[in-house]
Amino acid sequence: MLIKESPNIASSEITDQSVFKARRQIIKAAMGISVASMLPNSVSATDKRYQNIPVGPYSQDLQVTDFEDVSHYTNYYEFTTNKTDATVLAQGLQTSPWQVKIDGEVDKPGIYNLEDILKDNPLQQRIYRFRCVEAWSMVVPWIGFPLGELLKKFQPTSRAKFVEFTTLYNPRVMIGQGGDSLPWPYREGLRIDEAMHPLTLLATGMYDQELPKQNGAPLRLVVPWKYGFKSIKAIVRIRLLESMPATAWNQRAPGEYGFYANVNPEVPHPRWSQARERMLGASIFTPKRRTEKFNGYGEQVAALYRGMDLKKFF
């Protein structure tokens, strides 16, 4: 079942799913012209697994942001604090083979090859809104599988209350890790019910192809009702815990970046308003879009926070 469209979405923001499918070839052609020269190897052989992926539940019928904008404007501090340079700097990262350690409060811990994980978790496409804490946003056709379905296979214990995610630590290649912009390796976390929610996705692709390295390849988290810094990239460890884990941005600036990080126009960042957002790729003359609570996914997730003061637990 598709999520209902919000009355706050302009009609110009909505497109028919068939129109998006027709644009896929244009997107891929544009990618080939502008990015292929930066890639060390052709991706055509690995793209086949991402063709004809079924649209999963909770996907929205929205006009997607152009691939060029999404792949050339990224926050990836492991490489750089510049939003455009990661498109080149990340290309030296080896993403295959890739292993993920799953441990902590689970009955079946272990180190697993990503290829084996993908064999057991069928891919689906989901078009989601994505909202950055910096007050810009985009709409992305992610390809992945529900995090909750993966966690169930490893049988969380009754003590598992939180899930911690850790990014690869490789300062030789991820040169930004040589600095002190954040505590390394990057860590993020979710409450167990947030992790198990069917909206929460582990993505391995987007726009009918593998995730570009600058967008978090080969495995990243996507939590559409939270600010983008929660959607950790290049995941190498998933650990289930009894207590709330420390997270990178919350450690760096606890007064600015909370653990929950739910999109909330009523709670401004200390240095800017969150009431409106700039759509990535939009003209400078395009009015900013009004930010929706939970990024427009309140009908699905608001019950997770019933009774909580969302201005206090930001």
Tell me the fold of 11-305.
Sulfite Oxidase; Chain A, domain 2 (3.90.420)
Mean pLDDT value of segment 176-200: 98
- For residue 291, say whether it is annotated as part of any ligand binding site: no
- For residue 77, say whether it is annotated as part of any ligand binding site: yes
Q: Which one-letter amino acid corresponds to residue 287?
A: P
Question: How does residue 205 score in pLDDT terms, banded at 50, 70 and 90?
Answer: very high
CA distance 50 to 17: 17
- For residue 137, say whether it is annotated as part of any ligand binding site: no
Mean pLDDT value of segment 212-216: 98
- pLDDT of 43 above 50: no
- For residue 200, say whether it is annotated as part of any ligand binding site: no
- pLDDT of 38 above 50: no
- For residue 215, say whether it is annotated as part of any ligand binding site: yes
- pLDDT of 74 above 90: yes
Question: How does residue 47 score in pLDDT terms, banded at 50, 70 and 90?
Answer: low
Handedness of CA 204, 210, 215, 216 (dihedral sign): positive
- For residue 132, say whether it is annotated as part of any ligand binding site: yes
Helix (H) or strand (E) segment spanning residue 148: helix 147-153
Position 40 scores a pLDDT of 37
Cβ atoms within 10 A of the Cβ of 227, count?
25
Mean pLDDT value of segment 41-62: 77
- For residue 121, say whether it is annotated as part of any ligand binding site: no
pTM value? 0.86
